[in-house]
A and B are shown apart, each in its own frame.
Chain A
Amino acid sequence: MTDIPRPGSAPAIEVEALSFRYPGADRDSLTGVDLRIEHGDFTAVVGGNGSGKTTLCKTFNGLVPHYWSGTFDGAVRVRGQDTRDRSVGALSHQVGYVYQDFGNQLVRPTVRDEVSFAPVNFGLADHRERTDEAMELLGVTHLADRFTWQLSGGQQHLVALAAVMALRPEVVVVDEPVAELDPAHADGIYAALTDLNTRLGTTVIVIEHHAEYVARHARSVVLMADGAPVWHLPVREAMERVDELERHGIPAPQVVQATRSLAPWAPVPLTVEEAAAHLSAHACEDRPEPDRPSEPAPSARAVAPAGSRGAPVARMTGVRHGYREVGGDLAVVLHDLDLTLYDGERVALVGGNGAGKSTLMRLFTGLKVPREGTVRVGGTDTRTVRPAALADQVCYLYQRPEQMFLKDNVREDVAMFPRGRGRPDTDTLVTDVLDRVDLTGLAHRDGRLLSGGQQRRATLAIGLAMRPALLLLDEPTSSLDTASRDAVIAMLDALADTIRCTVVATHDMHLVAEWAQRVLVLDQGRVVADTTPAELFADPGLMSAVGLVAPQITRLGLHLGLNPPPLTVSELLDRHRTTRRTRA
């Protein structure tokens, strides 16, 4: 972080009295925006859904107003030049843009072709050097000849970024990089962005919901609300405004919350290590004893001892499964899997991309049958019945909600299953379920046109109306802002009465910490651990081996010597205070 903006040089981005309204909209998306982003800065743009973050960032590369022609007042200048006087093509040499749905930004079949596409289109003589340089920069050279659809999400994101960097822009805008990636890949993207920022002096602008990433990587923060920046501050000052961030739907990082409560006089910490240092320094005399087995684990999340487990709901024995690849080889995804799910359990299935989580869940639906071994749901071997018959007991909700929308409105989608099975109470059931997920007012709309959080709730409604014994959810919280995420977790909490067993495949360790009772850790097609969230987070060796990162508060607890580590901020506060009192 030694890069100091050169005095006197034109700012990377300068926005002056900017207002913008999309054609046909009844209110301005941006109103009176004044903003200055210095050359070489690493800026995070935060704010709730609909606060105008994405629209603002699209003015930087001229998509607004050249592509989205609405009512545009004021001025946006990139390195001193007005964007209205330049074309989108010309601006893309200065400002690169990586979309939230980056997969759709890749337009060519192979990686090399994708990265060289823009330099070739612009007829740049050094296109080959630029392509190699950009691939080298993002570490994707080894993927050069792969087809883009063969890549994992994280790799696709790096390729999209490389394609943007091939034009050597001075500014890159990245829209919600963490939304669709697992924690290990998200860290990889941020490491790459930090590297571009420090090594090349590229100005980086990220749109981000997760304050944790903002605190760790950004240098300044723009808070957007109602189409205008509330403030633009250096990151530490921004993080001090905990309450204000919270009001705008951006909860402060857990370490900030904890430090503010325990050591309000300490400066705001940006990382777990800083927080641990502050808390230890300010409370060094009364440091809690490590490992106090007498400490009662919070009763609600403790797994019932094996003897008192409910009846088995589903079981896998000796399951081996895999897919044929284009080359003809068999890629084995699951090896010798033995697994039983019990009545009343909340199970989180964790593991990196490609660990076999989705395959495992699909085997329970009967859409696929295993190559070896048996899968039983409620005593029925999935080989002996058609998937439609199993659907009475098992429901699988896809990661991307739009894959669940088969009809042209939410109500029809929810009613599809019960009506098809001739349930006499279909109408009451549908009304109840829609009410429960708070979508009654939007039930006549096409699911695809709802916001991310609403879509997720609509898919939950579809699942609830199927009244399954076993509910399987694939990444239910991905690409949601914090408020929608909390709403989904609360809804999952409330499901216990109608559903016997819920399994969630997720990268979201906050969801694991706050919701799950049992965690199955999957690595390369094998269950490497069957444990509780607290035990999992207390085992750093296992965590790093499977590419997981524990929530900040858990890591802070471990730094402070709390074992089992706390899973929520309030738990850490309680235990920290109790230990200090006991010591005193």
Chain B
Amino acid sequence: MRIIYKLLVKDIVRFVNDKTALLLTFLVPAILIIIFGNIFSGNGGFPGVHVIFVNNSKSELAKTLETKLDSSEAIILVKNITDMESGKIINITVGRAVEEIKKGKISAAIIFPDDFFSDTSKSVKIKFFYDPKDQIESSIVQGSVQQAIMSSMPDVLPVLMQRKIESSIGYKKVKKFKEEMSGVVSEYFNVPVDSIYKKEDSLKLFSTAGANTNNFFSKLINIENSQVVGAEVKNPGVTRIVGGWAMMFLLFSLTGAATSLFEEKQEGSLKRLLCMPISRGNILWSKYIYSVLIGIIQLFVLFLFAYFLFDVEIFSNFFNLIIVILASAAAAVSFGMLITALSSSIAQANGIATLLIMIMSAIGGAWFPVSILPDWMQTISKLTITYWSVEAFLQVLWRGGDLTSISFNLIILVSVAVIVNTYAIFLFRKGKIF
């Protein structure tokens, strides 16, 4: 027992002194719990999904419904936009709404058209344009619209149903039925016919609706869905997520490639290289280029797998995909080089890298859409290379975006690669590697 106790103490002391093990055991899970908790508990301030809203109807019902949608916590209505050319705030048209969705600036638009609801309408007409690049986001938007409409229904449903029945069996028959029913009720309860006319009308019709509610409502509320982007994508599910997961694994593998400098140091091969007529810059840049090449090959193989196994279309926009792969790999390696330069051992580098990659993946859009994160997390997510890379992959694979559409993402990724890598090389001169 004493021996077991001594061995136990040995293991505890060893664990306590292993900072990397402590980091991975406690800090990484704690931070991930904070991130997930903020997203899914509802306490983190879920800001709602931004949705373009265009109300071209002059009906009171449209105004009522708009108010309902405005009060929804799940969606935020965007009703006007700053025109880039004039700098003025302008109302959004239907065409502009579709254009914004195609560009990937917003994921959905709710349109109340001119004929949303008129004096003779038998149903409410709504147009819903959307880009289901993020399944969670799309579900939230559609669910919110339905909820808002359904909560407004008590005000309009009787009218709609009456008009629907009148159009089916004829006005005269309906009138006759109502008069007869009113007479019976009046006689039975001993009240004037005029005072029960409306009540009888709505009660009767509601009970009829109960037979097949969904079918009945769908005839009353005509939502015209139009998927603006990604309709032709063969496997939407995998196409949406492949970029995010690819980026996460890329960060892991390329950080490993960069931290291999520590292994080379331990082996002595780095020392051997340093005494050759080559500069430190030569060594670091060759390591950088090697890692980028590995990253490109890794991503290409991963996308090929997605192509063959899941029909993810990679060749229709292949050139742009390669450009994004190149920029993402360059940025990911610079991240690895920075971690290596700041660390004093391979264990420390791996620990820090694991922590940061998990955080970047969680808030950068690799695991779930950034739009469902709290506001403050969305702001931080833009500081991660995962965010810019995942957005660029989506633009290329999901929207078939051209070079212009990904240019900003590319500028960010390449700038990160250049600035971070230059800084990392500067740090290497002072760091523990050399």
User: Do these two chains interact?
Assistant: no
Chain B positions near chain A (C-beta within 8 angstroms): none
